[in-house]
A and B are shown apart, each in its own frame.
Chain A
Amino acid sequence: MAALRDFWRRYRRNKGAVVGLVVLASILLVAAFGPVIYPGNPWDMAGAPFQSPFGAENPLGTDTLGRDVATGIVHGARVSLLIGFVATLAAVGVGICVGAVAGYFGGRVDDLIMRLTEFFQTIPSFVFAVVLVAIFTPGIGSIVTAIAVVSWPAVARLVRGEFLTLRTREFVQASVVLGRSARHIIFVEILPNAISPIIVSASLMVATAILVESSLSFLGLGDPNMMSWGYMIGASRSVVRLAWWTSFFPGLAIVLTVLALNLVGEGLSDALNPRLSREGR
């Protein structure tokens, strides 16, 4: 309990991070309860096309086909956050396993795994994601997979670095002497001590994943059956001179979410690594 309070005290010191947390919390609330307020199908033609925003019926206006922009943003929040979190979870899971094995065992295993990781890193990640989604039919599953596939190498390298240093510490040596299994040492002894940089990079990775998903949808490679922010911008970029609101509000939603995630990530970094962040300044 005291540790948590201490954590919060350090987190609070970063004002930006607090603002980010508030914004992120409200976006999560919108994603959770928004569809109750806007129960309609986001694809339905809810009104006349190109209604300007701030009207009584369509607070954020309607798009080319008369679809309500507000409903789209609320439903899109679910898709964006879902993809962001699931893809990150998958990438972090793979990254931890690969990085831990490489860092703990070292030697030939490390060489092999790191060459493989570098192979993935040499391919420009967005282009790689586009190719993956295009090969597997665009859909929510293929998008999550593609984002995870292009994101895990960064986590793997980070985890490997942590493991390389922690492996030489006394408590690890002690476990080895006690005859603990490698699995036990990796997951019970070392991983908890390496978790803070992983959490920080994961929070930033969620933001990146949301951006990648939006870019894919913008290019028409999104799931054609799920409303997402990137899709909304992509579908209305052609009418930006006629109806600015159709792309402005989804764009604003992306900016706010990504900004909030970055601020939170920075706050987490401050709170989890107090020496790193404060001593340097």
Chain B
Amino acid sequence: MPSIHPLRAVAAGILLAASAALWPALAQAPAPAPARGGTMNIIISPEPPTLMLGINQTTPAAIVGGKIYESLLRYDFDLKPMPGLAKSWSVSPDGLTYTFKLQEGVKWHDGTPFTADDVVFSAKTYLTAVHPRSRPIFQRAETITAPDPLTVVFKLKGPFAPFLMAWEPSTAPIVPRHIYEGTDFRTNPANAKPIGTGPFKLKEWVRGSHIHLVRNDDYWQKGKPYLDEIYYRVLPDASARTVAMETGQTHLSAFADIETFEVPRLKAMPHLEMTTKGYEYLAQIVWLDFNLRAKPLDDRRFRQAVYHAIDRNFLRDRVWFGLGKPATGPIHSSIPHYDANVPKYAFDPKKAEALLDEMGLKRGADGVRARITMDQLPYGDVYVRAGEYIRQALGRVGIQVTLRSADVATWGDRVRNWDYEMTLQVLSQLGHPALGVSRLYVSSNIRKGVLFSNVNGYSNPRIDALFDKAAVSADAGEAQKMYTEIQKILVEDVPVAWLLELEFPTFIDKRFRNVVTSAIGVRDGFADAYMQR
């Protein structure tokens, strides 16, 4: 028992009593009502090529464009749909008919009223023509109709479970029919002067300097948005971005704006608040990819041994500076279909060695059991450090890893043409396993020359059948059972070793409230964000 000085104990007691007396007063102070006004300065890097989300879905475009364009739904942090341009929605019991009731009194930025025809045009004509990611989704629709100006009905050819997950602004932006119908979508002059329904309008864009958005006074949510204007400041230099946040010149940073090693320092600054929320929809996982065509990677025991030999907590703490969460399987834990009840691969080098011994891979005279080449993922320093750690960790159990480095294009060429043994990879899961996960494991997606397909050649008829059935199952309970089985099988098979669920730090100046309110975080419209006085 540590001894406590009596005087110190008394002092502590007084302090406790005083704070207890103060606490209720603090708790009862009413939260100040959101007030109109204020200018928010936000970091944007790199500068988006355009703000037209139908044509460009890169993160910077989605961040700025998400203030201008809206979609039918929004998603809360658990990825449950919330009303957006659609006030309410219903799904028929057979999972084939989706009916959306639209908000009333919505106007485009040019004053034209927004109607169901705009939604039909966007989904049926516009997005299927220009948007690579939403084309396969809307091509599943048999008919898209507008029975009245405030109702849209989608009749699908077959059930498609993730249909309700496609309605965020960068996947399905709703565009004005009266501007785009009958024009060349890619060269329409409105792409440079975007017209949406969102809470902010584009006022001015000075290339290389800033993008100036102003309040949409006719916004359909009366009284919103609260902010008068938003300036997106183009800051290509990482240290300049950090300084801008430190000095309060900018009020918001997101994604990789702030380099990981600067995060602990900014986190401690009194005027900044850090959150890792708002990335649930993207849900990125980093994994170690094994080319299953190469020996000894084709042996499950070898892959399990590798998984056991890597300390995922070390990667999180030392390489990602505490940002992230050790991954347990193919589905990110923020996706509702995630199941934690799968075999666990604890960090256990002894077990790894036992598995390798069992395979007959004995240590040679030089202590080496097997030699593997690993391609470094050229996405920046953290991935290089991670590769170096993995080489050392595997070296300890007798697997000698030789690192090979290359530029992004060369790396991509090697991986998509299956010319690799081991590499790190990172990808988003897009809210639903059928959108972002199945593409990596189903054998129908083993396509040479296509990056982010099933490049490692995993093929399991049971997994193929389960993914296919789960995607078209109208019964959520049934689908969940299948996704649970998928996770169990995959984790046992270890076609790849899932290392880390990435977390991104969003830094918000504490004067600004309600900034991150949904699963798409800073890419959302900011109708609710306000500045405290």
Contacts and interface: CB of A to CB of B under 8 A. Distances in A.
Interface of A: 41, 43-45, 49, 64-66, 134, 137-138, 220-221, 224-225, 235, 238-239, 241-242
B507 to A, nearest CB: 17
Contacts of B407: 134
B129 interface: no
Interface residues of B, number: 21
Given A66-B318, A235-B381, A235-B385, A220 B261 contact: no
* Residue among B388, B392, B395, B406 having the largest count of chain A Cβ atoms under 10 Å: B388
B248 to A, nearest CB: 19
Interface in B82-97: none
Interface in B372-413: 376, 381, 384-385, 387-389, 391-392, 395, 402-407
Interface string B417-447: 0000000000000000000000000000000
A65 B391 contact: no
Contacts of B392: 41, 43-45
A137 B404 contact: yes
B318 A64 contact: yes
Given A65-B318, A65-B319, A65-B388, 17 more contacts: A41-B392, A45-B389, A64-B318, A64-B319, A65-B385, A65-B389, A66-B318, A137-B405, A137-B406, A138-B406, A220-B405, A224-B405, A235-B381, A235-B385, A238-B381, A241-B265, A242-B261
Contacts, number: 46
B261 A239 contact: yes
B296 to A, nearest CB: 21
Dominant secondary structure of chain A at its interface with chain B: loop
B184 to A, nearest CB: 39
A138 B385 contact: no
A65 B311 CA distance: 13
A64 B388 CA distance: 11
A27 to B, nearest CB: 26
A64 B385 contact: yes
Nearest to A241: B265
Contacts of B395: 41
A221 B388 CA distance: 15
A67 B404 CA distance: 20
A222 to B, nearest CB: 8
B350 to A, nearest CB: 18
Nearest to A66: B318
Top 5 nearest A-B pairs by Cβ distance?
A224-B403, A224-B405, A239-B261, A138-B405, A238-B261
B319 A220 contact: no
A224 B404 contact: yes
Contacts of A45: 389, 392
Given A65-B319, A235-B381, A239-B261, A43 B391 contact: yes
A245 to B, nearest CB: 15
Contacts of A224: 376, 384, 387-388, 403-405
B268 to A, nearest CB: 13
A241 B381 CA distance: 16
